[in-house]
């Protein structure tokens, strides 16, 4: 979306989404920041889920980075979780960019990418100490599902899913 001459950019139209390799330096920095945020909430490393960069290569996955005013401020990706399901991974928005539509823009782009690769459903794991993330997911149409994945038996794990 480009503004007309003389018009101020609104928050969402300022956000640029780029597909990058999961192991790209910009992606890895944002992932380190995300894990530090999770570590502050839950302790430890933040997330010990096994993740391989190869899982985020199309057509079996993708990783996206959000830029605001040319600076990387958020990320998210998906990897295959069965034949027609994608799993959302490493969603993050830098604190200075929160409340500006970055996470919703990344989420929509991740969903679109998964849909374009034939996925019909998106699932994700989240923790109960992330109320802002839970609020965003539920407002975006995600419903709580039975826990799955690495943390399925962990206290405080909540899983969500939605049809794409």
| pLDDT tens column, 124-156 | 999 999 999 999 999 999 999 999 999 999 999
Residues 106 and 76 sit within 8 Å (Cβ to Cβ): yes
pLDDT at 8: 36
Per-residue pLDDT at 91 exceeds 50: yes
Separation in Å, CA 113 to CA 22, 23, 34, 76, 150: 15, 18, 21, 11, 24
How far apart (Å, rounded) are the C-alpha atoms in residues 162 and 87? 11
Per-residue pLDDT at 4 exceeds 50: no
Q: Sorting pLDDT into bands at 50, 70 and 90, what band is 12? A: low
Residues 27 and 65 sit within 8 Å (Cβ to Cβ): yes
pLDDT at 2: 35
Average confidence (pLDDT) over 11-32: 91
Which CATH superfamily is 15-120 part of? Gcn5-related N-acetyltransferase (GNAT) (3.40.630.30)
Q: Sorting pLDDT into bands at 50, 70 and 90, what band is 18? A: very high
Q: Tokens 């899913």 map to which residue?
A: 161
Its pTM stands at 0.90
Q: Sorting pLDDT into bands at 50, 70 and 90, what band is 1? A: very low
Query: Average pLDDT, whole number, for the chain?
Result: 92
Q: Sorting pLDDT into bands at 50, 70 and 90, what band is 46? A: confident
pLDDT at 45: 86
């Amino acid at each position: 979306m480009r503004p007309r001459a003389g018009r101020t950019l609104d928050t969402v139209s300022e956000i640029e989404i780029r597909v990058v390799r999961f192991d790209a330096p910009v992606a890895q920095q944002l992932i380190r920041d995300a894990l530090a945020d999770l570590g502050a909430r839950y302790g430890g490393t933040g997330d010990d889920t096994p993740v391989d960069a190869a899982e985020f290569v199309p057509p079996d996955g993708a990783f996206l980075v959000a830029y605001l005013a040319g600076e990387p401020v958020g990320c998210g990706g998906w990897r295959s979780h069965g034949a027609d399901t994608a799993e959302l991974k490493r969603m993050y928005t830098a604190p200075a960019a929160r409340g500006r539509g970055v996470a919703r823009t990344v989420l929509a782009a991740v969903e679109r990418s998964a849909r374009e690769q034939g996925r019909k459903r998106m699932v994700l794991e989240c923790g109960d100490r992330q109320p802002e993330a839970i609020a965003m997911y539920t407002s975006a149409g995600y419903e709580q599902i039975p826990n799955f994945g690495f943390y399925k038996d962990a206290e405080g794990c909540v899983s969500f899913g939605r049809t794409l």
